[in-house]
Amino acid sequence: MRTAICSGSFDPITLGHTDIIRRAAACFDQVCVCVVPNAEKKNQMFTPEQKLELVRQAVAPLPNVEAELWPGLLVDFARRHGATAIIRGIRNATDFDAEQQMALINRNLAPELETLFLPAAPEYQYFSSTMAREMIRYHQPLENYLPIQIVPLVRRMMEEKQ
């Protein structure tokens, strides 16, 4: 069985993320989504547990995808799941540069893991979780940016914060 890892902080998970996960799920027997708490990122909107719940709801229609919270190194998560590949979505050259550096570090730590880059679909190249947080913060429509099944949950989580 061939297993791939898709990782991120997913604050929140967007349609761009789910597109990459869906495409990876079509290529691998199993995809494990690694939700990384990422304490270094500023202006986080959701707790790690909330992010995990949003991801699980978003990937629920994909039978060969599971999600888990992981505070450690991605290569350790990949080894734990017997993965052979790390899938990374790339929107632009800036993403590529950062992801290439991380891929080289991961290859040094775990030579058995391949990092595969999937280019973002054109309709998602301009959108990020940062932009999604702004849309949420200012009560804008979310259906074109977030998986439809998580929109009510995102709104409820935000109401509970207030």
Chain segment 120-150, per-residue pLDDT in tens: 999 999 889 999 999 999 999 999 999 999 9
**Known catalytic residue at 17:** yes
pTM: predicted TM-score of the whole model, two decimal places:
0.94
pLDDT at 11: 95
Q: Which long-range contacts (CB under 8 A, 24 or more apart) does 125-133 make?
A: 125/16, 125/91, 125/92, 126/91, 127/14, 127/15, 127/16, 128/14, 128/16, 128/91, 129/9, 129/10, 129/11, 129/12, 129/13, 129/14, 129/17, 130/43, 132/12, 132/14, 133/11, 133/12, 133/43, 133/45
What percentage of residues in the chain have a pLDDT greater than 70?
98
Q: Domain count of the chain? A: 1
- Examine the residue annotation and report whether 81 is marked as an active-site residue of this protein: no
- Which of 7, 9, 51, 129 is catalytic? The answer is 129
Give the pLDDT mean for 89-118.
Answer: 96
Is residue 39 pLDDT above 90, yes or no?
no
Q: What is the pLDDT averaged over residues 20-29?
A: 98
Known catalytic membership, residue 91? yes
Domain with 60 in it: what CATH number? 3.40.50.620
